[in-house]
Amino acid sequence: MLDDLRDLYQEVIFDHNRNPRNFRKMEDADRQIDGFNPLCGDRLTLFIKLDDGKIVDASFQGQGCAISTASASLMTDIIKGQSEQEAQQLFALFHKMATGEQVDMDDLGKLAVLAGVCEYPARVKCATLPWHTLDALLKGVEEPVTTE
């Protein structure tokens, strides 16, 4: 009965929701920041460690829906080893995908499993919250980020 929801809720998303990767507090983080979606109450704290302009470690904690948890889990995995600039480019690409713009899915790698959200306007912010939070963190913002 819920089969047609599978384009949004792919098995990978359930998997990341059940076992989020990098879900831990980072005691020795170089930067950390809170992200908040006031509409639904989702919140997360994002931690990163930088070395010479490279993201050498990334982790998160918080409470969110399956979409935002999976998105944070996938994001923290994929940005590890990237330069700040690469991560920001990926954010721009991800944002395009989530809002339904044409992008080359190959450039998105594993993140493509979240492409389905563009069909669910109320859920786009769930997927993009971790990325907006990362973007602010890389820009050196310290106040909590909100999606509103």
Partner 1 sequence: MNKAVENIRPYDVDSIRQDFPVLHQQVHGKPLVYLDNAATSQKPKAVIDSLVHYYQNDNANIHRGVHTLSERATLSYENSRKKVQCFLNAASEKEIVFTRGATEAINLIANAYAQTLKANDEVLITAMEHHSNIVPWQMLCEKTGAILKVAPINDQGELILDQFEALISKKTKFAAISHMSNALGTINPIKQLIDLLHQHDIPVLIDGAQAIPHIAVDVQALGCDFYVFSGHKLYAPTGIGALYGKLELLEKMAPYQGGGDMISVVTFDKTVYSKVPYKFEAGTPNIAGTIGLGAALDYVNSIGLDAIAAHEDSLLAYATEQAKRIDKLRIIGTAKQKGAILSFVLDGIHPHDIGTMMDHQGIAVRAGHHCAMPVMDFFAVPATARASFAMYNTHQEVDVLMAGIENLIEMFG
Q: Closer to partner 1 by CB, 18 or 139: give it.
A: 18
Write down the least CB distance from residue 56 to partner 1, Å. 30
Q: Which residues sit at the interface with partner 1, rule CB under 8 A?
A: 1-2, 4-5, 8-9, 14, 18, 39-43, 63-67, 69, 120, 122-123, 126
Q: Which helix H or strand E contains 48, and what residues bound it?
A: strand 42-51
Q: Closer to partner 1 by CB, 63 or 89: give it.
A: 63
Q: Closer to partner 1 by CB, 14 or 105: give it.
A: 14
Q: Would you say 22 and 58 are in contact if contact means Cβ atoms under 8 Å apart? A: yes
Contacts of residue 68, Cβ cutoff 8 Å, sequence gap at least 6: 37, 42, 44, 126, 127, 129, 130
Contacts of residue 98, Cβ cutoff 8 Å, sequence gap at least 6: 114, 115, 117, 118, 124, 127, 128
Q: Closer to partner 1 by CB, 5 or 92: give it.
A: 5
Write down the least CB distance from residue 3 to partner 1, Å. 9
Write down the least CB distance from residue 104 to partner 1, Å. 27
Write down the least CB distance from residue 118 to partner 1, Å. 14
Q: Are strands 54-63 and 42-51 parallel, antiparallel or unpaired?
A: antiparallel
